[in-house]
Amino acid sequence: MIYLLALVGLVTLAVLLWKAFGPDTQAPPAGRVVGPDDDPEFLWHMNRRNHPRSGEGPDSGPGDRQE
């Protein structure tokens, strides 16, 4: 019986060590992926398209304004 408990403890210890120091199964992402709902430029264009100011068309951009 003591050998069975030792074997269970040894297997548990091996699994915990493997999880802590073993090879990573997931590769980290190469770069930050920005979805369209988080992209500031996309949100700016959507805001301009949905809420145009007077005298500005839906295709006007930030460089199109004349001050």
Instruction: State the average pLDDT over residues 4-32.
Output: 86
Task: Indicate the burial class of 8 (C-beta count within 10 angstroms; 0-12, 13-18, 19 or more).
Answer: exposed
Instruction: State the average pLDDT over residues 5-19.
Output: 95
User: Which residue carries 């839906």 as its tokens?
Assistant: 58
What residue segments make up the domains of the chain, in order of their start? 1-50
- At residue 67 the predicted structure's pLDDT band, cuts being 50, 70 and 90, is very low
Q: Mind listing the pLDDT tens digit for each residue in 29-47? A: 677 776 767 788 888 888 8
For residue 18, give both structure tokens.
């493997």
CA–CA distance, 3 with 22 (Å, rounded to integer): 26
